[in-house]
Amino acid sequence: MRRSPRPARRGVAAIELAFVFMLFVIPLMFGIWELGRLVQVQQLVSNATREGARLSAQAYTINSSGAPTQIRLSTGTVNVQASVYQYLYAAGLTNLQLSDVTVEFAFSTPRTTDYVPLSTDPTGTNYPFGSYPPEPCYGEKGMIFTLKITIPWSKVRWINKGLISPSTVSFTVTWQMLTDDRFQVNGTLPTW
């Protein structure tokens, strides 16, 4: 009995593996890499938002000369936008600029008292009774507020393959104002 010679199939498995690798495994690896980066950036933005909310909840801080300083949203020496940006930059998102960090602040609790005269609002906007200007320094103890931080995904992604391409990464927190109770200092008390 004579066998017919079989055609040589050397290297076919290697070529098939290369095609499978190119078409499925490499895109899968890029997708996992991009998804991992998105999860990392989302975690950094959520932590930065919490840091911004902690700062906002104070409404006032004491500066180096001992004077109270208002905590503003994006202006002034102490502001939430700069604080969030510094957190994100220190966490490794060094491609961001201060202008890339979008900060949205709003009180959820309606105003019940008129402790803050509307004339102190720097924009000169007339806010109706029951609402507040969107600045942390106008908050009163116990008021509920929301803070939303948004950054562009294009500035923080590692690869530009477009497998995962949201336009922004954002996080929103709901927090409570922790300002001190208002009090009057009795100037007639004796000092030692």
Taking residue 86's Cβ as centre, other Cβ atoms within 10 Å add up to 14
pLDDT (0 to 100) of residue 189: 76
Under 8 Å between Cβ of 55 and 83: yes
Asked whether residue 141 carries a pLDDT value surpassing 90, the answer given is no
Q: Which letter does DSSP use for residue 136 in this model?
A: G
pLDDT tens string 20-46? 778 888 888 888 888 999 999 999 999
Determine the Cα–Cα distance for residues 138 and 80; give it in Å rounded to an integer: 14
Determine the Cα–Cα distance for residues 145 and 133; give it in Å rounded to an integer: 12
pLDDT (0 to 100) of residue 119: 43
pLDDT (0 to 100) of residue 118: 46
Determine the Cα–Cα distance for residues 55 and 126; give it in Å rounded to an integer: 26
pLDDT (0 to 100) of residue 7: 67
Cα dihedral value 66, 113, 108, 69, nearest 10:
-10
pLDDT (0 to 100) of residue 124: 57
In the numeric block, which tokens belong to residue 124?
A: 């000169």
pLDDT (0 to 100) of residue 71: 93
- Given CA atoms 125, 128, 133, 134 in this order, what sign does their dihedral have? negative
pLDDT (0 to 100) of residue 165: 81
- Given CA atoms 130, 132, 134, 138 in this order, what sign does their dihedral have? negative
pLDDT tens string 86-127? 999 999 999 999 999 999 999 987 665 554 444 445 555 556
Q: In what order do the strands lie in the sheet with 102-107?
A: 102-107, 144-152, 168-176
Q: Treating both helix axes as pointing N-terminal to C-terminal, what angle do 80-90 and 26-56 enclose, rounded to 10 degrees?
A: 140
Predicted TM-score (pTM) of the model is: 0.76
Taking residue 54's Cβ as centre, other Cβ atoms within 10 Å add up to 15
For residue 152, the SS3 value is strand
Asked whether residue 48 carries a pLDDT value surpassing 70, the answer given is yes
- The confidence band for 145, taking pLDDT boundaries of 50, 70 and 90, is very high
pLDDT (0 to 100) of residue 64: 81
- The confidence band for 188, taking pLDDT boundaries of 50, 70 and 90, is confident
The enclosing H or E element of 90 equals helix 80-90
